[in-house]
């Protein structure tokens, strides 16, 4: 403190002033004016001023708060030589500062040991339980720090912050917390079972965040070795590594870096699912908060803490750190209790006391003089240490520098004449070591060994590095010159370490930067050899101007501050994309979890907050809101989010989601918004890519320009920016990387690696942006460039270079077969191939194998118009290559899309995968045909996701395509007065329906006369919930009750519908005397006695009618009701067609019921319905209010898609009055629980409640009465939050219970998979369809690909929102390209085409007629077809059935010929 340090001088001045004695006046009132009194008053004032708090409204603490687990030898504060609140004091006592000719040296002595407390007791390993004991092999007891922390680390779930010096055993503390998690996930059923067999490995994941890749690898090695006996799998996840679902499932501990974990947790699918099963998060070197990377740590901790709060899950956070000045702030940030989980140990707890030397080398930084002084001082210190018999490790910052420094030290020792001090020839095994090292090919290593020097860096062979480590540990080398990777990756201690220089080249910044404090601490941690020495020495040689910086940093003189403001914009975008932040309120709350918030309150001035603001707003709500609003404004400007400023809401855009997924900065996105165009070549893309701000740090150095210009002459794409600009440099380096060009300059090598690593990621992001915008040309270019960076080859290179073939084969290909395609090469014989290449047959055989394994496909297509302006393109993709698991792995992904005539717009796109057993894949694309006029052509394009050159395209001509004529056959809904059931004049029927119908609605009133007062064939096509089925049932009961003997058949397409209808009709039949049954036997088409209603499924009808002689008419059948004709398939069509044929001689009435159809004319004609009996209403012609909303997404089908849908789904559920019910339809049963958790999480984030959707009025006691009845206890967590499930996978009793709870309003959200939409018996105010694609699995389980929902399924789901009382709300969440199709048909009616040609039903029926002596020719087939729906659709929509003639007769004849051929092929005895 300046005032206290000046106290002596001020006191002297006071003495001199007050020594001029004033006349002595003896008066009591003037007693306080004496010299001593004045001096005392001024002394007191100085002390008061020094102790005055930062703000006047705060009170100075009489003494710092004492925490139970803070261990320090410093008397001034309980934390370090600083107070825990970051007020700076002085360097430790005993510090010596000396000036020399070439440098200034500051020596800090080892800290005095902290005496043990009375409560301390070392914990012997034998006293640990068997689980913990087995993980500490070779240990006799825990060290002092571990013993102190043990009760909390292993005996509780408290969050921890462990601040201790490097080498003090913090990793073993982390091991204790890992064992705590393992112990909590053990089964205790058999106490005598082996420990490893009791661990439930699938129930937990542990994440260990290490600061750098080298340390991550070391941690993986250590943990794997110690946990191997428990069969715990430890895996590294860093850099560009990915983990498959299988690997994730099999791994319990994942060691990663902060940036990688941030990327992983941004992805809700695949690796991102790790976060949902996370139980322990260990963050090593948490003092990185003070560096630029600290923003990432803040991001991942804030995300984890919010996950804990929102999901009410238990995730333990453990922070490991070097000694921190303001450890209280870091503890608060990590949610660590100061009294339970905070442990601070000062530098006196190092295993070996360390004397630290800080040397400030004189001379201008980077000058020749400075470098000479650095070399001279380094040699001086090394010589002194070696002369005292010590080994020294000299750390430098480049691989070449290790050799250069070692040679320099060797030469200096020869000049100084002290070479004998370095020699190790007197070592007993020196000759053996010399012989071993002679086997190495590393000349420098052999040359240096004789003089007692060694080198070590990552560029050396592993065998050479191992040899150097062994020689140094055996003391056969005195001085080892190495890079910092040795300090991180290998535990190789020495008495002294010297850091030579502190300027390190950082490729991410494109310049030299200061060596991080993290690296300094790690290197100093290698000083001192435990068990062999009692002290160690650490030297850091830096420039004079950086001396104070490293003194402050290493000795913790300055509090660590937040670096989050620099990354807040991109972090906010990541949270919005994840769905965890939806508005400014969420964002302000999220910011409250960051270290920035902690430090803003503690030290507001540094963050631009004035004194009054902290008084008025202690929680800094306004400041946080200001930061969030500013960040959101920038994101909105970049089009990464939409920001509703008045409402304060955020909505992620495709651009924002892609940027978050690929870690793209918002500033780069702004550049892409300006430069990205629909049509771009590879050269255009490379130029735009090079402008990305991710490359801003790459600067052009004068010494590089010549080499860059030489590179520019050899690369294929023009570089408009030249070699003198950073953009041009990046462009040249990227192209050079792809072209496998070699560069000599060390910095250029590093820059090229950086450009390639980041370029590949950014290109992939640009690819997804192009796909989201449906830009066909740009998508093709970016796919090629993405693979070019990955494969290091250009699209024009020979594709077979991707195989491991011999050089002479590639040379032969280039010289003699450059114009041959891979497909052409695959058709030749090995001998011919060998001759083509001017090589032998063996070479030809190797090339042939490669050509046949190259991923090629055969593409076929068919065109199916679904209306006058909708065309369905069915594409078949057949695998045309030989699968090799070593080359292709488990899957081969590829893209398939249809692009427009101009080749600029993607009309439809799909991402598909081949598996080893996949032979064929079928994809259906729906494209719009404006005004019914097809373009001249469209193009199908196939592109492999991984293989360069594996692509194909097929032109589809459309100029001769005949689209069906637009039909306007819809029946207008008339404004008629509603009828009442009394018009039936049938008391029995009126009583039966009295509870259901009080009056007929508009549709029922309009159809009443035709249905009930005529015997004409009738077809009613009306929207779901319009009452058409009710009218059909009234008609059935009217027909059944007016005649003495009546036989009615009801045909339904599904068994579930038959069961539901049977139950309903039997309930109504009690007082009518009508027998209701479901036809199950072969007598189903034999007229029963009396009054009978028989319900038949379409499949049973076809089976039964196929056993009848077609020549014998079916008589006595009064009425056939065909329900759900929108589900008409081949079986249904053929069954009804044969039934109509059999009843043509008897006046059987046919009545059809269907959802609204786009064109019902042909269906009516098939059933013999004339115009007066056809009622075809539009979907909007329903009496109930139904609001229909769509929201589109461009995220591929994945968990990420459902994460993105969770927030709008929750918003839709909450938009209706509280207490109303919701149905949520999802693609599969397996997704039900994950989506339920997402919805519950959204509810918790918004409402800050643990009750989820459960109403406050429902007590826990009331709910408990239901929960005890559950067969599956895992459902409790969901039901207690108001969410339930309905599908066949749920126990029948639980399913019934959940329907009961739903009816009572306890369950407010019922989640239903797609396949249960036909059986769910309830309706809801809100119905949400979350996604319209599902995974279709072929018969053998090999053909797996995404399919769109059937339109009939979506209509069925929509019908669940139609209620007889109150409004309904239907939300359809779908892919952007599917929106128009679904909207069109949901608003205009469903398309309906015959499926008779797609199955073998017709040919099997022909086979069944053989026993009746039936023979078939073309005319006979045509006669049979005349009763089908097919023949009518062939006339109306010939293109759908591959008919090209303009004559309907010719088209029908062609169809008959095709069927006849099938019949003959099956051997049905045709003439």
What per-residue confidence (pLDDT) applies to 1272? 92
Q: Which pLDDT score is estimated for 1447? A: 86
Q: How confident is the model over 370-399, as a mean pLDDT?
A: 92
Please compute the mean of the pLDDT values over residues 1457-1467 and round it to a whole number. Answer: 77
d(CA 170, CA 68): 19
How much is the mean pLDDT over the chain? 86
pLDDT of residue 322: 80
The span from the CA of 330 to the CA of 745, in Å, is: 42
| The dihedral formed by the CA atoms of 1426, 1428, 1429 and 1433, expressed in degrees to the nearest 10 | -40
| Window from 41-55, 519-533, 1214-1228 with minimum mean pLDDT | 41-55
Per the model's pLDDT, the better-predicted residue between 700 and 48 turns out to be 700
Has residue 990 got a pLDDT over 70? yes
Tens digit of pLDDT for each residue in 869-903? 889 999 999 999 999 999 998 889 999 999 999 99
Res 961 pLDDT > 80: yes
Least confident range from 27-36, 76-85, 204-213, 1341-1350: namely 76-85
Least reliable range by pLDDT among 52-66, 91-105, 240-254, 411-425: 52-66
Whether residue 1198 contacts residue 573, with contact meaning beta carbons closer than 8 Å, is answered with: no
As a whole-number percent, the residues of the chain with pLDDT over 90 amount to 46
Q: What three-state secondary structure class fits 998?
A: coil
* 732 — pLDDT class (breaks 50, 70, 90): very high
Closest C-alpha to 1429, from 1454, 1404, 1393, 1403: 1393
The whole-number pLDDT of residue 1089 equals 86
Residue 120 pLDDT class (50, 70, 90 cuts): confident
Contact of 134 with 179, CB cutoff 8 Å: no
| Angle formed at CA 827 by CA 824 and CA 832, multiple of 5 degrees | 100
Q: For residue 542, what pLDDT band results from cuts at 50, 70 and 90?
A: very high
Distance of CA 1050 to the CA centre of its chain: 50
Answer whether residue 1134 shows pLDDT above 90. yes
Rounded Cα gap, residues 895 and 915, in angstroms: 15
Nearest-10 crossing angle of helices 595-602, 294-311: 110
- Model confidence band, residue 488 (pLDDT cutoffs 50, 70, 90): low
Q: Cα(527)–Cα(547) distance, rounded to whole angstroms?
A: 20
> What per-residue confidence (pLDDT) applies to 64?
62
Contact, 1432 vs 1162, CB < 8 A? yes
pLDDT cut 70: percent of the chain above it: 91
Confirm whether pTM is higher than 0.95: no
What pLDDT sits at residue 39? 65
Distances (CA, A) of 734 to 667, 699, 756: 21, 15, 6
**Dihedral sign of CA atoms 843, 846, 849, 854 in order:** negative
Cα(first)–Cα(last) distance of the chain, in Å? 113
Residue with structure tokens 């046949």? Answer: 852
Residue 73 binned pLDDT confidence (cut-offs 50, 70, 90) = confident
Q: Is residue 15 over pLDDT 60?
A: no
Residue 242 scores a pLDDT above 50: yes
**Residues 1077-1119: pLDDT tens digits?**
998 888 889 888 888 999 999 999 999 998 888 888 898 999 9
Residues 6 or more apart from 478 whose CB is under 8 A from it? 386, 391, 392, 421, 422, 423, 424, 452, 453
Collapsing DSSP states into helix, strand and coil, what is residue 937? strand
pLDDT in the model for residue 433: 84
pLDDT value at position 979?
92
Whether the Cβ atoms of residue 1442 and residue 1450 lie closer than 8 Å to each other: no
Q: How confident is the model at residue 80 (pLDDT cuts 50, 70, 90)?
A: very low
What integer is the mean pLDDT of 306-312?
A: 74
Q: What's the pLDDT band for 135 if we cut at 50, 70, 90?
A: very high
Q: Strand order of the sheet with strand 1149-1154?
A: 1075-1078, 1091-1097, 1046-1052, 1119-1122, 1149-1154, 1018-1021, 1174-1176
Give the contacts of 1060 (CB within 8 A, at least 6 positions apart). Answer: 1321
Mean per-residue pLDDT for 1293-1317?
94
What is the pLDDT averaged over residues 1256-1276? 89
Question: How many angstroms from the chain centroid is the CA of residue 324?
Answer: 34
Nearest residue to 1176 (alpha-carbon basis) of 1016, 1019, 1401, 1339:
1019
Which is it for strands 1149-1154 and 1186-1193: parallel, antiparallel or unpaired?
Answer: unpaired
Strand 354-361 versus strand 96-99 pairing type? unpaired
Residue 1160: CB atoms within 10 A of its CB come to 27
pLDDT in tens, 464-480: 888 888 889 888 999 99
Residue 168 is predicted with a pLDDT of 84
For the chain, helix (H) and strand (E) counts, in that order, are 55, 42
* Per-residue confidence (pLDDT) for residue 1042, from 0 to 100: 81
Question: Is residue 284 over pLDDT 80?
Answer: yes
Q: What is the pLDDT of residue 787?
A: 94
């Amino acid at each position: 403190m300046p005032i206290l340090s000046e106290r002596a001088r001020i006191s002297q001045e006071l003495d001199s002033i007050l020594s001029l004695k004033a006349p002595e006046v003896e008066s009591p009132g003037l007693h306080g004016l004496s010299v001593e009194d004045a001096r005392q008053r001024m002394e007191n004032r100085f002390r008061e001023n020094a102790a005055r708090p930062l703000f006047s409204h705060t009170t100075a603490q009489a003494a710092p708060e004492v925490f139970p687990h803070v261990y320090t030898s410093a008397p001034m504060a309980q934390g370090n030589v600083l107070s825990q609140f970051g007020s700076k004091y002085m360097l430790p006592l005993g510090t010596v500062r000396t000036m020399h000719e070439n440098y200034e040296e500051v020596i800090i002595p080892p800290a005095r040991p902290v005496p043990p407390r009375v409560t301390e007791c070392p914990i012997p390993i034998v006293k640990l339980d068997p689980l913990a004991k087995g993980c500490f092999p070779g240990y006799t007891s825990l060290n002092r720090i571990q013993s102190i922390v043990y009760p909390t680390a292993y005996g509780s779930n408290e969050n921890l912050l462990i601040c201790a010096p490097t080498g003090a055993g913090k990793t073993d503390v982390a091991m204790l917390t890992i064992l705590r998690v393992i112990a909590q996930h053990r089964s205790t059923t058999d106490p005598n079972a082996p420990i490893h067999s009791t661990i439930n490995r699938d129930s937990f994941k542990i994440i260990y965040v290490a600061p750098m890749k080298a340390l991550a690898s070391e941690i993986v090695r250590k943990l794997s070795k110690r946990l191997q006996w428990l069969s715990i799998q430890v895996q590294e996840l860093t850099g560009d590594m990915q983990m498959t679902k299988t690997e994730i499932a099999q791994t319990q501990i994942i060691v990663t870096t902060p940036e990688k974990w941030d990327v992983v947790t941004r992805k809700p699918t695949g690796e991102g699912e790790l976060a949902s099963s996370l139980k322990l998060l260990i963050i090593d070197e948490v003092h990185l908060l003070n560096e630029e990377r600290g923003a990432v740590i803040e991001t991942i901790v804030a995300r984890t803490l919010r996950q804990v709060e929102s999901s009410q899950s238990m995730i333990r956070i453990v922070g490991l750190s070097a000694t921190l000045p303001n450890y209280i702030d870091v503890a608060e940030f990590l949610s660590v209790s100061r009294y339970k989980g905070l442990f601070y140990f000062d530098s006196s707890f190092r295993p070996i006391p360390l004397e630290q030397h800080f040397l400030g080398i004189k001379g201008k930084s980077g000058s020749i003089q400075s470098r000479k002084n650095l070399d001279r001082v380094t040699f001086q210190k090394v010589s002194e240490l070696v002369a005292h018999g010590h080994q020294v490790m000299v750390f430098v910052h480049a691989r070449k520098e290790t050799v250069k420094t070692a040679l320099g030290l060797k030469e200096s020792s020869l000049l100084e004449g002290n070479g004998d001090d370095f020699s190790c020839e007197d070592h007993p095994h020196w000759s053996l070591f010399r012989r071993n090292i002679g086997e190495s090919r590393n000349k420098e290593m052999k040359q240096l060994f004789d003089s007692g020097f060694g080198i070590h860096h990552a560029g050396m062979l592993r065998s050479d590095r191992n040899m150097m480590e062994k020689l140094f540990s055996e003391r056969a080398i005195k001085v080892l010159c190495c890079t910092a990777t040795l300090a991180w990756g290998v535990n190789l201690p020495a008495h002294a370490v010297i850091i030579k220089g502190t300027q390190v080249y950082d490729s991410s910044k494109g310049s030299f930067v200061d060596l991080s404090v993290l690296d300094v601490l790690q290197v100093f941690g290698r000083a001192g050899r435990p068990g062999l020495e009692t002290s160690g020495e650490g030297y850091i040689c830096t420039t004079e101007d950086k001396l104070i910086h490293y003194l402050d940093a290493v000795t913790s003189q300055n509090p660590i501050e937040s670096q989050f403001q620099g990354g807040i914009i991109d972090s906010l975008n990541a949270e919005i994309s994840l769905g965890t932040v939806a508005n400014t309120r969420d964002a302000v709350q999220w910011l409250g979890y960051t270290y920035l918030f902690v430090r803003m309150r503690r030290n507001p001035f540094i963050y631009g907050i004035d004194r009054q603001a902290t008084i008025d707003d202690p929680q800094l709500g306004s400041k946080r809101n200001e930061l969030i609003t500013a960040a959101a404004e920038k994101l909105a400007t970049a089009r990464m989010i939409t920001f509703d400023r008045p409402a304060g809401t955020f909505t992620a855009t495709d651009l924002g989601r892609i940027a978050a997924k690929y870690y793209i900065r918002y500033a780069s996105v702004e550049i892409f918004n300006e430069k990205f165009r629909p049509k771009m070549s590879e050269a255009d893309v490379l130029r735009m890519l090079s402008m990305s701000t991710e490359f801003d740090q790459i600067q052009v150095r004068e010494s590089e320009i010549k080499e860059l210009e030489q590179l520019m002459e050899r690369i294929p794409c023009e570089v408009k920016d030249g070699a003198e600009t950073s953009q041009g440099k990046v462009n040249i380096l990227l192209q050079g990387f792809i072209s496998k060009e070699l560069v000599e300059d060390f910095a250029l090598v590093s820059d090229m690696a950086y450009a390639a690593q980041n370029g590949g990621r950014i290109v992939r992001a640009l690819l997804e942006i192009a796909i989201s915008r449906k830009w066909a040309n740009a998508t093709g270019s970016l796919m090629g460039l993405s693979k070019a960076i990955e494969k290091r080859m250009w699209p024009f290179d020979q594709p077979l270079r991707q195989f491991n073939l011999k050089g002479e084969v590639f040379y032969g290909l280039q010289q003699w077969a450059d114009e041959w395609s891979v497909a052409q090469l695959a058709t030749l014989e090995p001998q011919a191939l060998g001759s083509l290449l001017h090589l032998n047959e063996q070479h030809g055989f190797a090339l042939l194998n490669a050509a046949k394994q190259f991923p090629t496909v055969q593409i076929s297509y068919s065109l199916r118009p679904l209306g006058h302006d909708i065309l369905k393109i069915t594409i078949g993709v057949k695998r045309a290559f030989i699968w090799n698991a070593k080359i292709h792995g488990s899957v081969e992904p590829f893209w398939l899309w249809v692009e427009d005539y101009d080749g600029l717009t993607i009309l439809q796109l799909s991402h598909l995968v081949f598996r080893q057993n996949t032979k064929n894949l079928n994809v259906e694309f729906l494209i719009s045909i404006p005004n019914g006029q097809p373009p001249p052509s469209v193009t199908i394009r196939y592109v492999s996701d991984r293989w360069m050159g594996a692509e194909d395209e097929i032109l589809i001509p459309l100029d001769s395509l005949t689209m069906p004529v637009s039909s306007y056959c819809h029946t207008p809904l008339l404004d008629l007065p509603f009828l009442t059931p009394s018009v039936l004049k049938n008391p029995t029927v009126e009583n039966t329906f009295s509870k259901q119908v009080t009056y007929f609605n508009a549709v029922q009133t309009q159809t009443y006369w035709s249905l009930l007062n005529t015997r004409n064939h009738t077809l009613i096509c009306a929207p779901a919930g319009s009452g058409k089925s009710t009218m059909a049932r009234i008609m059935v009961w009217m027909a059944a009750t007016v005649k003495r003997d009546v036989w009615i058949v009801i045909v339904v397409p599904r068994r579930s519908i038959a069961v539901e209808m049977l139950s309903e009709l039997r309930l109504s039949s009690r007082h009518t005397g009508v027998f209701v049954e479901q036809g199950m036997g072969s007598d189903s088409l034999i007229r029963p006695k009396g009054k009978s209603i028989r319900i038949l499924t379409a499949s049973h009808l076809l089976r039964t009618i196929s056993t009848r002689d077609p020549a014998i008419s079916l008589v006595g059948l009064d009425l056939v009701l065909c329900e759900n004709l929108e589900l008409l398939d081949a079986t249904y069509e053929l069954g009804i067609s044969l039934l109509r044929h059999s009843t043509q001689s008897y006046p059987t009435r046919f009545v059809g019921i269907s959802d609204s159809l786009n064109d019902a004319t042909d269906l009516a004609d098939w059933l013999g319905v004339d115009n007066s009996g056809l009622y075809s209403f539009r979907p909007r012609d329903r009496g109930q209010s139904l609001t229909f909303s769509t929201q589109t997404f461009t995220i591929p089908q994945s968990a990420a898609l459902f994460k993105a849908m969770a927030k709008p789904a929750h918003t839709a559920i909450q938009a209706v009055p509280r207490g109303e019910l919701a149905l949520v339809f999802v693609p599969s049963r397996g997704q039900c629980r994950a989506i339920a958790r997402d919805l519950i999480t959204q509810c918790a984030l918004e409402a800050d409640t643990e009750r989820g959707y459960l109403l406050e009025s429902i007590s826990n006691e009331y709910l408990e009465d239901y929960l005890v009845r559950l067969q599956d206890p895992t459902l409790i967590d969901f039901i207690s939050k108001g969410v339930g499930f309905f599908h066949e996978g749920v126990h029948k009793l639980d399913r019934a219970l959940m329907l009961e709870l739903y009816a009572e309003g306890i369950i407010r959200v019922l989640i239903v998979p797609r396949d249960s939409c036909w059986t769910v018996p309830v309706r809801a105010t809100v119905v949400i369809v979350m996604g319209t694609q599902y995974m279709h699995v072929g018969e053998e389980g090999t053909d797996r690909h995404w399919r769109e929902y059937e339109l009939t399924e979506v209509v069925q789901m929509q019908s669940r929102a139609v209620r007889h009382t109150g409004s309904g709300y239907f939300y359809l969440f779908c892919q952007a390209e599917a929106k128009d199709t679904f909207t069109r048909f949901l608003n205009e009616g469903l398309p309906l085409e015959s499926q008779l040609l797609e199955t073998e039903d017709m040919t099997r029926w022909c086979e069944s007629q053989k026993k009746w002596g039936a023979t078939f020719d073309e005319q006979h087939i045509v006669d049979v077809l005349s009763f089908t729906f097919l023949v009518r659709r062939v006339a109306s929509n010939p293109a759908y059935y591959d008919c090209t003639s303009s004559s309907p007769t010719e088209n029908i004849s062609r169809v008959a010929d095709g069927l006849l051929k099938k019949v003959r092929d099956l051997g049905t005895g045709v003439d």
